[in-house]
Structure 1
């Protein structure tokens, strides 16, 4: 009987809070090894692709100065308050994200100033020069935020904590934050300073920090791919036909059937299905942000390549079960 084992299932599970996907994979691996009487593979998980250091990525912003005496003359368009903010004790130690926010607000305010009528042509000329210089340096400020902000850096470096089996918290919030940062990137490319300055960068970073989804997703993909590869090492020398000579039923086959339905289908396939969904939702947004940066190659390996590895190893493992099912009286079926 030809059985399709590939559909990935969404099954509600009640599990303890620390029974995340990595624990499910480990549990399944141990049970399968026990039934097959084969020691589980124990190879070290490869390191993630290295990220360039922050200090090597940060670029200095051009030092654009506006004489404070002239700035007071622009009080009616609030440039004086922005200049005062930048020269304050807090302004001198702005993070990369706060620096970008300041630069965008300054550009937006300055653009409005230049649209007004000016009697002081010397000051107008100076403001126009500052505006041009600020426009040329805004890409540096944006890249500094992408590449060196501490919150984003934490997400990109990853954390050794897997996501839960299903319904991970913060997926929609992470999608929202990445979408807003992509909108910001688009507004900057369009030189739409007013729209760009209205995006609350700190709020988006707070969402990423709060849920930590990207950091956990990249670890989960890498861990899942590695554990599935170990499972395939375990089964590679187990010929399915050897488990049921002359297609005879046995207690071992019944136990294998239980392991398949209870641990592989209900947990491992469920988990990898969820990881696949998260990857499809979030990776395109992350790629759009970083594709023209120095971190693009490393992030592609950390997300896209590990996702491909996971899917490849999962397919290999499903093929083993399909072969076993076709050669032995298991009558395995995937729940619908």
Structure 2
């Protein structure tokens, strides 16, 4: 089977330190090729990522509802007194967007139970029904406030200058689990299923994302690898396969190239792009579902899917160069299996 025909989804078994930087692996590969081919590697700045609107410009106020629930039945029998006391506490007044959402969902669930009870005070029942209707409409607003302004989620959306390793998949299952739970929460809110929505531990999902920090590292890795491969392709555009073999091939140079191809491109660079593809295919659809109807959708699509498509395009160009070299020179870039 020829190496260049290996699809991006092929998983190659490797051993080594799980912290090996994919960015450093591509950089080392760049430098090795530049040395053996005696060509200067372009030094161009990495394209800037599309800007994200600031949280202060995205957060929307929730309706300010005031209840004077002095009726014993409503506050104690329905369990609303505890929730109202929580919201009016010193901590409740400075809730983060995620804790505010959790509170709204728990309140809606408890209020739905309350309204199913038998009522003697119809005026209080009418008042509670009005609150319930208003809060149902504002639950999506509270959810979007969390998506757009929560510190943990913003870190994932802004990205960090930390590439993923080329031979490990740190935090993939945890990140997938957390984003899946948030998409389920989104669906429950759309369905006005307050019991199911309030049962999701939002803080736990955010903690999983914080610990793994995978989406933030993924978008940086996609953008950086795309740029590094583009620099390589610019350099190799001046190296035709025929020039390496005609009129007489430099056997030592070809042996070094074959070694670089096998040990550094296949074993590290291609493995890195394989991993990035797996991250992208599992996480981006979830992020896309969460942010499709938000003001950040266009910028996030460019940061994730746009960079991913650029990486694939540059990688295909690069593999084609190796294929052309192998067809012109006796390099035997093949493997058993």
SS, match of residue 272 in structure 1: helix
Q: Which moved more, 1:120-129 or 1:162-171?
A: 162-171
Alignment of 1:181-196 (within 5 A): 181-196=182-197
Q: Which moved more, 1:216-225 or 1:13-22?
A: 13-22
Q: 2:44 aligned with 1:49, yes or no?
A: no
Equivalence for 2:272: 271
Equivalence for 2:145: 144
Q: Which moved more, 1:319-328 or 1:8-17?
A: 8-17
Equivalence for 2:130: 129
TM-score (norm: length of structure 2): 0.96
Equivalence for 1:93: 94
Q: 2:35 aligned with 1:5, yes or no?
A: no
C-alpha displacement of 1:73: 3.9
Show CA shifts across 1:193-245 (max 9, x none).
Answer: 01000000000000000110000000010111000000001100111100111
Q: Distance in 2 between matches of 1:254 and 1:73?
A: 83
Show CA shifts across 1:225-271 (max 9, x none).
Answer: 00000000110011110011146352111111111011001111111
Give aligned pairs, total.
Answer: 335
C-alpha displacement of 1:13: 3.4
Q: Which moved more, 1:62-71 or 1:89-98?
A: 62-71
Equivalence for 2:84: 83
Q: Distance in 2 between matches of 1:207 and 1:172?
A: 10
Decide whether the 8 Å contact of 1:232 with 1:317 is kept in 2. Answer: yes
TM-score (norm: length of structure 1): 0.96
Alignment of 1:235-250 (within 5 A): 235-246=236-247, 248-250=249-251
C-alpha displacement of 1:29: 0.2
C-alpha displacement of 1:90: 0.3
Q: Distance in 2 between matches of 1:296 and 1:150?
A: 18
Alignment of 1:320-335 (within 5 A): 320-334=321-335
C-alpha displacement of 1:18: 4.5
Cα 1:71–1:142 change in 2 (3 A) is farther
Equivalence for 1:208: 209
Structure 1's consecutive aligned runs of 4 or more residues displaced over 6 angstroms after TM superposition are none
Alignment of 1:304-319 (within 5 A): 304-319=305-320
C-alpha displacement of 1:41: 1.3
Show CA shifts across 1:61-82 (max 9, x none).
Answer: 0101111424774311110110
C-alpha displacement of 1:10: 3.0
Q: Distance in 2 between matches of 1:175 and 1:18?
A: 20
